[in-house]
Amino acid sequence: MPIFPDLLSPLEPGDTVGIVAPASCFDTDLFEKGVKNLQAQGFNVHTPQAAYRREGYLAGTDQDRAESFQDLWRDPQIKAVVCSRGGYGTLRLLPLLDYDRLARTPKIFVGYSDITGLMETLMTRCGFPVFHGPVITGLGRHPSHALSLAQCLRGNLPKIWAPEHPSVIVPGKAQGFLAGGNLTTLCHLAGTQFQPDYSGKILFLEDVGEAPYRIDRMLVHLRLCGMLNNVRGIILGSFYNCGEDGEIKRVMADCLGGLGCPILGEFPAGHGAENQTFPLGVPVSLDTELASLEFFPA
């Protein structure tokens, strides 16, 4: 029996996926390739004209982007919302959205990277899960990512998620709801009204293009803000172009090892060559001896 998050409905063949541009503007050719790769999985794709707007390095003004997102959410024909790309700008939308209204019609929402801020806020303010997965331009670069995304959209979630080459940083077992995302973006939520609470949760982290000392600084910042108090476990995705793997593992062990929770790395998600889709805001069980994450444990 396929598992799927409560409150959300899996897509059927021919259902419509809406595309939103909440952050940076995108390369049109790469975007169109990504749309075709998503359509090839059996979905209709609707891209509102607003997604093509430009306002400097952003995909339109803050108000444009917020209104486009809420318009897609209100449309009953749109069964899921996927982001065009990340980059920068999503945090600017957070004060502009009507979360009470969004919460009345839970929908599948997919994104990562800069979209982390919106994903975390939807989970916190609206109370429904989201999906960490590729954006449309990412599907243009990596067509293979569309298969994992489509399987999750259809409701075929893996029961067990195990890295091919796991890295146990701190051994142990833990259970809790899965949350998190891009480390840099989470740091920019700290100290704001949108700062998430990770007490009792399993935290996922990933990043791109950050030197080890900057990753160190961000992890220390999260600890000083209290955001890592009572975290039950941590899983790590890719830290792409962030230095040598051994150095990143050393930083993780040094900065997070004292939390007293299990830490397991090398999950195939984030900015690297693999970016598998998986749900956030759902119960999971982490076991470093089995080197796996179990979704919806009994």
Q: What is the pLDDT of residues 220-248, one digit of tens each?
A: 999 999 999 999 999 999 999 999 889 99
Q: What is the pLDDT of residues 87-125, one digit of tens each?
A: 999 999 999 999 999 999 999 999 999 999 999 999 999
Question: What are the domain boundaries of the chain?
Answer: 16-153, 160-295
Q: Which of 167, 210, 271, 292 is catalytic?
A: 271
The residues, ordered by sequence, that sit 6+ positions from 39 with a Cβ below 8 Å of its Cβ are 45
16-153 with 160-295: one CATH topology?
no
Identify the residue whose tokens are 């670069």: 141
Residue 240: exposure state from Cβ atoms within 10 A (0-12, 13-18, ≥19):
middle
Q: 160-295, superfamily in CATH?
A: LD-carboxypeptidase A C-terminal domain-like (3.50.30.60)
Task: Give the closest residue to 142 by CA, choosing from 42, 33, 45, 18.
Answer: 33
Asked if residue 197 has pLDDT above 70, the reply is yes
Q: Which of 206, 210, 266, 294 is catalytic?
A: 206
The per-residue pLDDT for 3 is: 80
- The answer to whether 113 is a known catalytic residue is yes
Q: How much is the pTM?
A: 0.97
- The answer to whether 285 is a known catalytic residue is no
Q: Which of 113, 167, 238, 292 is catalytic?
A: 113
The residues, ordered by sequence, that sit 6+ positions from 154 with a Cβ below 8 Å of its Cβ are 10, 11, 12
Asked if residue 209 has pLDDT above 60, the reply is yes
Q: State which fold the 16-153 domain adopts.
A: Rossmann fold (3.40.50)
- As a whole number of angstroms, the distance between CA 254 and CA 186 comes to 19
Task: Give the closest residue to 241 by CA, choosing from 208, 206, 270, 275.
Answer: 208
Counting every residue written for the chain, the total comes to: 298
Tell me the pLDDT band of 298, cut-offs 50, 70 and 90.
Answer: confident
130-132 and 278-280 strand pairing:
antiparallel
